[in-house]
A and B are shown apart, each in its own frame.
Chain A
Amino acid sequence: MFSTLATILKDNWEWRKQIGRLAVFELMKKSRGAVLSWAWFLIKPGMYIFCFWFALDVGLRVGSPDAAGSGPYILWLCAGIIPWFFMQDMLGAGIDVMHRYPYLVNKIKFPLSGISTIFTTATMIVQLMLMVVLFIIYFACGIPFDIYLLQVPLLLILMFVFWDIVSILFSQLSAISKDVANLMQALSTPLFWLSGVIFNVKAVSIPWIQDLLFFNPITFFVTAFRDAFYGKVWFWENPMMCIGFAVVFVITLIAAVFVYKKFNEEVADVL
């Protein structure tokens, strides 16, 4: 068990150069053939934000749901929805990376856990670009830089590690059976609506439902990023949220190591 974990870490460390370069290739592949190429990484999220803002603030008049917070609803929305874009990609393509890079699986020797890291890195690069935009938006709205923003790099690292593990876990299973990829993709929508990307989980009035929602890792990241940018609190000030996430993290890690140990030698044969 621990030796498998050590192997995963060692592989990723030893192949870090290749992983980094392949991640850049992944982005190149996505952006190529489009006139606006790199701009598309920003245009799509921009459209999303506009639609949600229009539907929720202008249309439904949900308004600014965070009493403690300052600034308009769209700022609150952006701080949560931008991390969601990362998680959306991870839940979509990220949980089936073996089919995305078949040549790395059965034509070239490459550590399978590294393939997940390639995709996670590529997605994270896009996320970092969006984060820069988010900082600019907040700055333009006159919200000052303060110490709470120090949580952002920490959360980004945590998000990277957690979703890389998720990708390692589910990619192995999806390689063996298409059902897993389909199941996860089907779950992506409910997880989104139950995650608090577009509503404030802290405002849910029934306590046990609120606690339950915090076991959704998406809720954890969305809420924590919002706390850093908008609510100006430390994410560990909400112990239930941290406990929920810690539990999910440990379970995912154990499952991923277990699955990796059992299947990583078989994946190349079935793909």
Chain B
Amino acid sequence: MSSNESATASLADAKSLHKTSVSDEVVIKFDDVTKTYNLYKNDRGRFLGIFNYNRKGSFLGSVDASKNLSFEIKKGEAVAFLGHNGAGKSTALKMVTGVTHPTSGMVEVKGRVSALLELTAGFDMQLTGRENIALRGQIMGLTRAQIKELEPAIIDFAELGLYIDQPMRTYSSGMKARLGFAFAVAIDPEILVVDEALSVGDRAFQRKCIDRIREIMMDENVTVLFVTHASSVAQEFCSRGIVLDKGTKVFDGPIDDATAYYEANY
């Protein structure tokens, strides 16, 4: 009981600390962003479609995964993206990460992004966990010494035991997510993007992750973007919520209002 109280107390602490620490500097800016996916019946149709040769029947239509999306996120904010399946949350985050490009509009991102996109988080399944840490570190542009320095913390956080030296294809999905998360938070990101990566971890690990994210958020310089379907998790440590529906922003405001809006409407 008492531990629970102190937990909520520290939570309130974290929130107040966090809220006062938001600076005015805009780090992420979406300006009228639209992302359109064209759907074809098969690869061949897609290939021909490129040459503007749309044979009847092979072009099935297009989906706006993001539609006229505009918002600004300031340095140090923690923003939750809410919406039902297919609302365009992952698409928006992918554009922040820079792996997909908007069809029209402008996406501006300032700072080093550490992203955890959908569970597997971009690991090479043939390599071991330890090698993947080195690989990802190198892609991020860290030096060998820096990687060596981070490695124990990542391994410790991920709690993989013997499996750290096994190929990643032998990992359970929770284990992959653990390693992905451990890596993403270890490299001191300026912008942390987490897309549903917590949902497969067990309760204990989820708690650990949330604690770690909170710790990161205390640092006023880190911006966190977060996708989850659990309103309670979002409420716990985000200050702002953006609700998406069919690619359009339908609500943007304080997290409690956002979750209330989301729960009332969907």
Contacts and interface: CB of A to CB of B under 8 A. Distances in A.
Nearest to A106: B99
Contacts of A104: 122, 139
Given A18-B141, A178-B43, A268-B99, A107 B117 contact: yes
Given A21-B138, A25-B135, A108 B47 contact: no
Contact of B138 (A22, A106, A176, A265): A22
A107 B120 contact: yes
A5 to B, nearest CB: 19
A107 B117 CA distance: 6
A103 interface: yes
Nearest to A178: B43
Given A29-B127, A107-B117, A179-B44, A268 B141 contact: no
B50 A109 contact: no
B229 to A, nearest CB: 21
A270 interface: yes
Given A22-B139, A109-B97, A176-B50, A103 B43 contact: no
B99 A107 contact: yes
A108 B99 contact: yes
A263 interface: yes
Interface string B117-129: 1101111101100
Contacts of A22: 135, 138-139
Contacts, number: 69
B244 interface: no
B50 A262 contact: yes
A110 B44 CA distance: 27
A106 B46 contact: no
A106 B122 CA distance: 8
B127 A110 contact: no
A269 B47 contact: no
Interface string B96-139: 01111100000000000101011011111011000100011011
B99 A103 contact: no
A106 to B, nearest CB: 5
Contacts of A29: 124, 126-127
Interface in B22-48: 37, 43-44, 46-47
For chain A, the bracket of interface size reads 20 to 34
B47 A179 contact: yes
A108 B100 CA distance: 10
A105 interface: yes
A107 B131 contact: no
Interface in A1-54: 17-18, 21-22, 25, 28-29
B73 to A, nearest CB: 18
A70 interface: no
Contacts of B122: 103-104, 107-108
B46 A176 contact: yes
A177 interface: yes
B101 A265 contact: yes
Contacts of B50: 176, 262-263
Nearest to B122: A107
A225 B113 CA distance: 46
Contacts of A108: 97, 99, 115, 122, 136, 139
A176 B139 contact: no
A109 B113 contact: yes
Contacts of B47: 176-177, 179
B99 A109 contact: yes
B184 to A, nearest CB: 11
A179 B37 contact: no
Contact of B141 (A17, A103, A178): A17
B37 A25 contact: no
A179 B43 contact: yes
Contacts of A262: 50
20 contacts: A18-B141, A21-B138, A22-B135, A22-B138, A103-B120, A104-B139, A105-B99, A106-B94, A107-B115, A108-B97, A108-B99, A109-B99, A176-B43, A177-B46, A177-B47, A178-B43, A263-B50, A265-B100, A265-B101, A268-B101
Query: A-B pairs with the 5 shortest C-beta distances?
Result: A107-B122, A103-B122, A177-B47, A109-B98, A265-B101
